Amino acid sequence: MTEQPMVRFDNVSKRYGALTVLDGLNLEIAHGEKVSIIGPSGSGKTTVLRMLMTLETINDGVIWVEGQPLTHMERNGKLVPADLAHIRKIRAKIGMVFQSFNLFPHMTAMQNCIEAPITVLGMKRADAEARAADLLDMVGLSEKKDHYPSQLSGGQQQRVAIARACAMRPKIMLFDEVTSALDPELVGEVLEVIRKLGREHDLTMLMVTHQMGFAKEFSDRVCFFHAGKICEQGPPNELFGAPKNERTRQFLHAVLEAG
């Protein structure tokens, strides 16, 4: 018996009016796989994450998570658009870290990390705090647990955001340009936490990134998006070392030139 892919985009399209952002996307991500998505801006790469997190609806196709439809549900043997209860059940498996952190500014680091475990998972406060303390320790911020986001640097805020997402024990973690809003000297500490997460936790990871070095070293597979389609994909060594597609070559050339 073959294992179900963790995530499967089945002919998924996304349009804004006349503009097609994603055009019939087919993408499978295996359990535990680390996939990086690269590409020029406007290529639809962030939309892939946002659709999977259900921040965007889709126009065509179906997204599957561990063999269950996310965007749809089965009723009388047919797939119909999912209702909120179904979406909430399936998206509990997914967590996301944002480019702009999106911490709750009126809550401390600790409060940010226990809010969802208590209100969504129904955990006891003490248990949620113990779990959050472990996670804040993992991201190296134990001593900042009572600080508010505005009292933390960008890198520290992003590490809290990672701990907050982990507190919900997702199976799939999405990273949307998580270092793009950071000062260059703070990028390293966040990438180090993501590396650690990949090593120590059984997580499937999907990241949109401009950090080519990190994508190369960290990912099992890299997808190059262009104009709403996967233009080329493969192991990082192949894609970065010997890109087959002309557009991939142009993009990598431009990015490496700049970086």
Partner 1 sequence: MIWDWAFAFEILPVLARAAIVSIEATLIGFALAASLGLVLAVVRIAVPWTGWTISVLVELIRSTPLLIQIFFLYFVFPKFGVVLDAFTAGVLAIGIHYAAYCSEVYRAGFDNIHRGQWEASIALNLSSWTTFRDIIIPQAIPPIVPALGNYLVALFKETPLLSAIAVLELMQTAKIIGSETFRYTEPTTLVGLFFLAMSLVSAALIRSLERLLNRRTMR
Closer residue to partner 1, CB minimum distance, 120 or 130: 120
Residue 201, both tokens: 């936790």
Binding flag, residue 81, partner 1 (CB under 8 A): no
The two three-digit tokens of residue 240, written as one number? 């970065």
Calpha distance 210→15 (Å, rounded): 24
Mask: binding to partner 1, 126-165, rule CB under 8 A, as x and -? ----------------------x-xx------------xx
Among 106, 125, 195, 253, binds partner 1 (CB under 8 A): 106
The distance of closest approach from Cβ of residue 216 to partner 1 in the complex, given in angstroms and rounded to an integer, is 27
Helix runs in 68-180, H state only? 84-91, 109-119, 125-138, 154-166
State the Cα–Cα distance between residues 52 and 29, nearest whole angstrom: 12
CA distance 42 to 62: 22
Site string for partner 1, 186-225 (x = CB under 8 A): ----------------------------------------
Q: Is 120 one of the binding residues for partner 1 (CB under 8 A)? A: yes
SS3 call for 21: strand
Residue 96, beta-bridge partner list: 174
Please report whether residue 180 would count as binding partner 1 according to CB under 8 A.
no
With contacts defined by CB under 8 A, name the span among 92-100, 136-144, 179-187, 244-252 that binds partner 1.
92-100
CA 160 – CA 114 distance, rounded (Å): 12
Residue range at the interface with partner 1 (CB under 8 A); choices 36-44, 104-112, 185-193, 213-221: 104-112
Closest among 22, 14, 18, 15 to 226, alpha carbons compared: 22
Footprint of partner 1 (CB under 8 A): 53-55, 88, 91-92, 94-96, 98, 100-106, 115-116, 119-120, 148, 150-151, 164-165, 168
